[in-house]
Chains A and B, each alone.
Chain A
Amino acid sequence: MDTQFIVSLAIILATFALYIYIAVYNKAKATSDFYVASRGVPPIWNGMAIGADWMSAASFIGMAGTIMVLGYDGLAYIMGWTGGYLLLTFLLAPQLRKSGSYTVPEFIGDRFKSNTALVIAAICTMIISFTYSIGQLSGSGVVIGRLFEIDAKLGTMIGVVLIAVYAAFGGMKGITWTQVAQYLVLIIAYLVPVIFMSLQITGNPLPWLSYGEIVGKLGELDRELGLSEYFAPFEKGTKWQFLALMFTLMAGTAGLPHVIARFYTVSTMKAARWSGAWALLFIGLLYFSAPAYAAFSRFILMTQVAGSKISELPAWTKTWVDTGLLKVADTSGNGILEWTELVIANDIVVMATPEIANLGAFVIGLVAAGAMAAALSTAGGLLIAISSAFAHDIYYRILKPTATDQQRLKVGRITIVVATLLAGLIALNPPGAITQIVAWAFALATGTFFPALVLGVWWKRSNAQGLIAGLLVGLGVTLAYIFAAKYGGFTILGIIDTGAGIFGAIAAFATNIIVSLATKPPSQEIQDSVINLRYPEQMTYKDGEVFMKE
């Protein structure tokens, strides 16, 4: 295991050195080219950068395991986390780009001409990003715990320190080329084990084409054991839960502040729609592969691990049992580990499978490096979203408009440290699997920003009162439903905590519309600026007339 530790650590450190090198190199270059270079990064590279930003520990570490455990019901995550890009690219990204704001709270503050709206939007940003970052810390705990063969809790604590330091680098985040490198590391680390497993099991190097028959075989194995088939629909939850979860993840994608922020950096509305298309293509590479990963892992566990003698379990089981995330108890006492006696946490499937399939030290190390890239890059972005919401939108614009740059920077740094520590504290005893925690963040975005932004962009009559009432009601309903479903056992149509966003969204849309109609319409100037978002940059709407710049 010592060799494994050295190889994994070496690959992680090498990839980090690469990110930092690119960041430093590009920073120097960007300053010298500042006045001549066009600011637009070509959409294809921007798409990769969005992919790195987007794919967090939930996608990389959590998703395949969740699909393995939930079977067909887990595919709501695949469709939900990709289908949302259509909502984002068609309904919001180009229009928000034309508005010219830099952050979501800023857009809301400008669109509704209200500081109260700005503050509430900033608070919602902080709550959503904070929830999301709990999942990332929990993910880094899994990786670091395995690396040092320690309890995942200790791993989380080390992760907290790493992420706080990483986020303090700050500037690195915005450098597209670093994110392109992170995307490449992440996608290679994800594809290599799936392709190897596909070769090992089916002899076909294209997992996407070959794993269909494995899915069929898993169903047969389940039938023999008297379990419900792997691919049988709605075994782990109702059909309504599936639909509600899928909607929550889609709408949440379109409402996540740190994802939307990425589209503010493209050069035009045209670039926004191309970036969305490229981003989903690159993200899709991982999402096409995750169900294959899940199927191969389950197949190997069912055919090669289950059924072996408890006393002769391979070495990998011990290291994972040490992290507290794998249980191999011979409850039936027959000396043989049966499939039903193997309790594997969702979150270790991706990390453990390369070891289970015996893919060698290099592949195992590569997967660890990919997982760290996913967790750290997204966590960094989330913490920066939290700190700018507090230091810029609340502290500078409302509390102390006279604050100097240094004061704001200091407040921003303190926010990052406090937020990381708090999130880390919660992540010590994660309240759910990574995908589940992240799904709550999506539910909150679905209940707050999705209705607020869709109405803000597409309905000129939406006013500040409606927006504020909608945000508060949406936030309240979503939070209340998550807690009631998770801890109170309260459900409607079998929809559990992860699908809470649908109720938040309905409540927020209704409240926003009713309150807006019951109060004074926004000023003509605001209404004109909303109509103006309909047209490309060259067309300007003003006083009922459209002008074209030539």
Chain B
Amino acid sequence: MKKIDKNIADAYFREKNIYMVIYFIIWALVSYGIVLIAEPLSNIYFNGFPFHYFMGAQGALAVFIILLFVNAIVGDKIDKKYGIDHRKNEEIGSNSTVNH
């Protein structure tokens, strides 16, 4: 157990939250945003679909999946930057439920 500067831990937390806010903005735009302007979009066609229909049926879902994978990869990078060791985490994680 080593004491670390609280500012470093907070920087970790802040960095993750900034990314999270960006993801949520994109998430809201492709789902709620597109639905709000569905009528004008219905005159644009994409791959045979009216565009609003394409976004509802495929586009939004594809963006959601990409965002989740980006989050997982970026999350790993941030952990690495702050020197988090995943083997150690697994150990601690398995103990926390055994003790329960």
Identify the A interface with B (CB < 8 A).
38-40, 72, 75-76, 78-79, 82-83, 85-86, 89-90, 97-98, 100-102, 208-209, 211-216, 219, 231-234, 239, 242-243, 246-247, 264, 267-270, 273-274, 276-277, 280-281, 284, 287-288, 291, 534-541, 544-550
Q: Is the CB of B71 within 8 A of A547?
A: no
Interface string of B67-94 (1 = CB under 8 A from A): 1110110011001000111101110111
Task: Provide the bound-state CA to CA distance between A288 and B42, in Å.
Answer: 20
- Which of B2, B47, B100 meets A212, CB within 8 Å? B47
Contact A78 B61, beta carbon cutoff 8 Å: yes
Inter-chain CA distance A23–B64, complex, in Å, is 33
List, sorted by A's number, 28 A–B pairs whose CB atoms are closer than 8 Å: A78-B56, A78-B57, A79-B31, A79-B56, A82-B60, A83-B27, A89-B71, A90-B24, A209-B47, A212-B54, A214-B48, A215-B49, A231-B42, A231-B50, A231-B52, A233-B35, A243-B36, A267-B90, A268-B89, A268-B90, A268-B93, A273-B71, A284-B64, A288-B58, A291-B58, A538-B92, A539-B84, A549-B2
Q: Which residues of A contact B20 (CB under 8 A)?
A: 90
Known contacts A246-B31, A246-B32, A538-B84: does B61 contact A216 (CB below 8 Å)? no
Contact A75 B23 (CB under 8 A): no
Complex Cα spacing A550 to B3, Å: 11
Contacts of A97 in B (CB 8 A): 93
Q: Nearest residue in B to A80 (C-beta to C-beta)?
A: B31
User: What's the minimum C-beta distance from B12 to chain A, rounded to whole angstroms?
Assistant: 7
Interface residues of B (CB under 8 A from A): 1-6, 8-9, 12-13, 20, 23-24, 27, 31-32, 35-36, 38-39, 42, 45-50, 52-54, 56-58, 60-62, 64-65, 67-69, 71-72, 75-76, 79, 83-86, 88-90, 92-94, 96-97, 99-100
| Interface contact B61-A79, CB-CB below 8 Å | yes
Chain A residue nearest in CB terms to B78: A536
Which residues of B are found within 8 Å of A219, using beta-carbon distances?
50
Q: Assess whether A536 is in contact with B79, with CB atoms less than 8 Å apart.
A: yes
Whether A277 lies near B9 (C-beta < 8 A) is no
- Contact assessment for A280 and B56 in the assembled complex, using a CB-CB cutoff below 8 Å: no
Rounded to whole angstroms, the CA-CA distance of A246 and B35 in the bound complex is: 10
Judge whether B86 and A546 touch: CB under 8 Å. no
**Majority SS of interface residues in chain B?**
helix
CB pair A75–B3 under 8 Å, yes or no, is no
What residues on B are CB-neighbors of A98 within 8 Å? 93, 96
CB distance from A271 to the nearest CB of B (A): 8
Instruction: Given A83-B27, A212-B48, A239-B35, verify A534-B97 contact (CB < 8 Å).
Output: no
What are the residues of chain A within 8 A of B23 when measuring CB–CB?
86, 90
How far apart are the CA atoms of A539 and B23 in the complex, in Å? 25
CA of A98 to CA of B84, assembled, Å:
15
A535 B31 Cβ-Cβ under 8 A: no
Task: List 9 additional contacts besides A100-B97, A287-B61, A547-B1; criterion CB under 8 Å.
Answer: A40-B94, A76-B35, A101-B100, A234-B39, A534-B13, A535-B9, A536-B79, A539-B84, A550-B1
A242-B83 Cα distance, complex, nearest whole Å: 44
By beta carbon, the residue of chain B nearest A213 is B48
CB distance from A287 to the nearest CB of B (A): 6
**Contact in complex: A83, B31 (CB < 8 Å):** yes
A384 to chain B, nearest CB (A): 18
Q: Which of A102, A211, A233, A547 contacts B39 (CB 8 A)?
A: A233
> Are the C-beta atoms of A233 and B93 separated by less than 8 Å?
no
- Across the interface, do A548 and B12 meet the contact criterion of CB distance under 8 Å? no
CB within 8 Å for A86 and B58 given contacts A39-B94, A212-B49: no
How far is B62's CA from A78's CA once the two chains are assembled, in angstroms?
11
Q: Report B-chain residues with C-beta under 8 Å of the C-beta of A231.
A: 42, 49-50, 52-53
Cβ–Cβ < 8 Å partners of B5 in chain A: 546
Is the Cβ of B35 less than 8 Å from the Cβ of A243? Answer: yes
Q: Is B68's CB under 8 angstroms from A276's CB?
A: yes
Q: Among B3, B79, B93, which residue has the most Cβ atoms of chain A within 10 A? A: B93
